[in-house]
Amino acid sequence: MIKEEIEKLREQLNHHNHLYYLESNPEISDFDFDQLLKKLQELEEKHPEFADPNSPTKRVGGDITKSFNTVKHDIPMQSLGNSYSEEEIQEFINRIYKELESDQVEFVCELKYDGVAIAIKYDGGKFLQALTRGNGIQGDDVSNNVKTIKSIPLKLRGVYPEKLEVRGEIMFSNAQFEKLNEEMIANGDQPYANPRNTASGTLKLQDSSIVAQRGLDCFIYSNVNSKGTSHYEAVTGLNEFGFLTPSVKNNRFKICSSKKDIMDFIHYWGEHRFDLPFAIDGIVIKVNSLEQQRLIGSTAKAPKWAISFKYQAEQVETTLNEIVLQVGRTGAVTPVAQLEPVLLAGTVVKRASLFNEDYIQKLDLRIGDTVQVEKGGEIIPKVTAVNMEARSSDSVPYTYPELCPECNTPLERKEGEANHYCVNEVSCPPQVIGRMQHFISRKVMDIQGVGDETIVSLFEAELIKAFIDLYGLTYDDLIGLEGMADVSVKKLLQGVEDSKNKPFQTVLFALGIRHVGEVVAKTLARNFKNMDALMNASEEELIGVNEIGKVIVQSILEYFSNPHHQALISRMKELGFHLEISEEEASQSSQKLQGMSIVISGVFVDHSRDELKKLIELNGGKNSGSISKKTAFIVAGDKMGPSKFEKAEKLGVKIISEQDLVKLLNE
């Protein structure tokens, strides 16, 4: 009965995920989807015997991968030859005609996505493994992170082959990348330069739950195991299995039968590429017939039957009218160029980040200068140079402001840091609002009924000046405010009350201490057990914590030495926040596994996988998803993967049972 219920929930969630992410036609609300997912998570935790590595619950991530195994590709992942001129494309086409002794050749033209190449394998319709390109011969196993990408099916749909390998490009949509950078700027961090490098870095993050939050996407452009006759059929046929493939309907994937067709495709997207919701850096031209591809062959590095045409990055000149300072929630100040509006890459650009004072000085930027602007990765506008010949003779060097533009507090720049900071965290509006928005956000305290706009409204109504003020709000305070009716007020108040039950590590993360993110907060909570111990910890004690560096230590010491923060913690104690790990966690906690990297594999009887991972973390160990020479031991259950067993034997890694682990921790 339970097994059937779990399988039914998985089927429902896979169905709704496909409708939402691949067909843009959802049947249920996000809330209803989350409720189904929550129910499945609860059932899987209670019944680990029905565990499935490809369950929809794996979409949220949570696995920690300290190092990525290098795995050989079954078929090498070759690169494409690049061309920057139409003449070279003409030469490529003529070479194909000559090679095949015919000018009646079909080509397929498709977009060249600006992302990270990935190879994904399926066995029996189930997700098996995902590898990066690497050096083309072997790549890194990033399976845990790729599983979190919602446009990649964990279980294939329809009638599928027993073995399948597809290849595609993992990337950010423009909207998702801009959202990510807005969060970075709001947190006082430097924005990412371009989506491709950010996608690459995200795929190598150790914590898959962070990968899940970033919202990567994936377009599939190759079916390695195709038994068909053409590339076009091989790719479009993958839609039936649940993959996101290039759209045929809107001229993004097209059969071309002549040089003119190919050139028209290149010219069209050269003009319209900035209308796309994602970044491309060119066009790929391939011979369509798979048999003709085999006849033409490949070099050691690239197929001879395909080539890419790359567009030049678009640059424009405009006038720098002003430099303004933008303040983030941590007090970090980012200079922003106010430009004379100019059309660049399909959008009107008015602003561009200047990063910090050193960047301004390096370019010797001056108000009134004619500057060169381009879009990093075709998305982020940046000033790259000054037209010195156009500079006015009466221009003066730019002097970096000494006061915060929001509250007139003197700015500070710490030794070794590029950014200036406003230290008035108590009353500088962007900082106050930013910290409160961080506190209530979904991945932190997740307060139901409170959003970013709600925080701004309450702040402007002078009802809150810090997140702690949320806990003093009453029904009478809120009813009648814009957008606040009886139901929404009650939901907000209940959400605020429920948030006090969040665990200690979440509360610690919610405080918004500089450099203390989710992972660091967990480490600190595990090592110090409660807020008092952490507040009173010395520099030596903090540095002694594994993976806590000097910069983080200094930030923690500064935070807790501030009387304002001390009063804040006292108020949280009075309100009943969880400022210590639970008695159960405390009784299970030790440093017996300090510094050890441990792998969990298989299905267990007495504990769920999450329970075992929690035990390992509570006792100072680190959960790893892959086996290496640094692995201390493997906790193995039933159905441990044969590949992991073989690798453990090869590297001489010890294998123990869940009972052995419990015995070790109880000694």
Positions annotated as catalytic residues are: 112
Cβ neighbors of 391 (< 8 A, separation 6 or more) are 366, 369, 370
Contact 163, 75 (CB under 8 A): no
Provide the token pair at 42.
Answer: 């609860």
Vertex 201: Cα angle to 277 and 520 (nearest 5): 120
Cβ neighbors of 87 (< 8 A, separation 6 or more) are none
Place of tokens 């959960």: 623
Helix ranges restricted to H, 122-252 = 143-146, 174-186, 195-203, 208-214, 231-236
Q: Which helix (H) or strand (E) holds 16?
A: helix 2-21
Contact 405, 397 (CB under 8 A): no
Vertex 444: Cα angle to 439 and 447 (nearest 5): 70
Place of tokens 């100019």: 342
Name 109's bridge partners. Answer: 254, 285
C-alpha span between 375 and 176 (Å, rounded): 16
Contact 619, 586 (CB under 8 A): no
350 phi, psi to nearest 5 deg: -120, -20
Vertex 128: Cα angle to 650 and 48 (nearest 5): 85
Q: Residue 474 burial by CB count (10 A; 0-12/13-18/19+): exposed, middle or buried?
A: exposed
C-alpha dihedral sign at 598, 41, 176, 249: positive
C-alpha dihedral sign at 511, 516, 517, 523: negative
Q: Which helix (H) or strand (E) holds 470?
A: none
State how far Cα 303 lies from the chain centre.
Answer: 32
Vertex 138: Cα angle to 135 and 142 (nearest 5): 105
The DSSP 8-state label assigned to residue 507 in this structure reads H
Q: Residue 15 burial by CB count (10 A; 0-12/13-18/19+): exposed, middle or buried?
A: middle
User: Which has the closest alpha carbon to 407: 387, 384, 424, 386?
Assistant: 424
User: Which has the closest alpha carbon to 251: 231, 224, 270?
Assistant: 270
C-alpha dihedral sign at 383, 385, 386, 389: negative
